[in-house]
Amino acid sequence: GQNIDQPTEMTATEGAIVQINCTYQTSGFNGLFWYQQHAGEAPTFLSYNVLDGLEEKGRFSSFLSRSKGYSYLLLKELQMKDSASYLCAVRDRSGQAGTALIFGKGTTLSVSS
């Protein structure tokens, strides 16, 4: 089966660094995605990892360890506008030809001043 776990809520202050962890179990791993979703809006793409290691994109970085079934999203220099839900999603190709994403329940990050 497929299972994706991430913390439900996290809080942090402006200017700080926060790390959101994600663990997954899947039989046909084919990439891990992080999306940001503000309340009432559509998810927007943040990062994609398919190989082990760190991918950096501005204030956001994402790390993947396939052997451990583990990823994290690192947000630096936090701003109030970073308050949102962060969704970890895995693409599982086992048994099917499609590219569906399996999402975790999301981590609600609250940034305070």
Query: Which positions lie near other proteins, rule CB under 8 A?
Result: 4, 31, 33, 35, 41-45, 48, 50, 87, 89, 91, 96-106
**What is the C-alpha to C-alpha distance for residues 34 and 81, in angstroms, rounded to an integer?**
17
Residue placing its CB nearer to other proteins in the complex, 13 or 25 = 25
What is the smallest separation between the CB atom of 102 and other proteins, expressed in angstroms?
A: 7
Residue placing its CB nearer to other proteins in the complex, 48 or 70 = 48
**What is the C-alpha to C-alpha distance for residues 39 and 79, in angstroms, rounded to an integer?**
16
Render 17-33 in DSSP notation, one character per residue: -EEEEEEEE-SSEEEEE
What is the smallest separation between the CB atom of 74 and other proteins, expressed in angstroms?
A: 20
Residue placing its CB nearer to other proteins in the complex, 17 or 50 = 50
What is the smallest separation between the CB atom of 35 and other proteins, expressed in angstroms?
A: 8
Burial 66-77 (b: 16+ CB within 10 A, else e): eeebebbbbbee
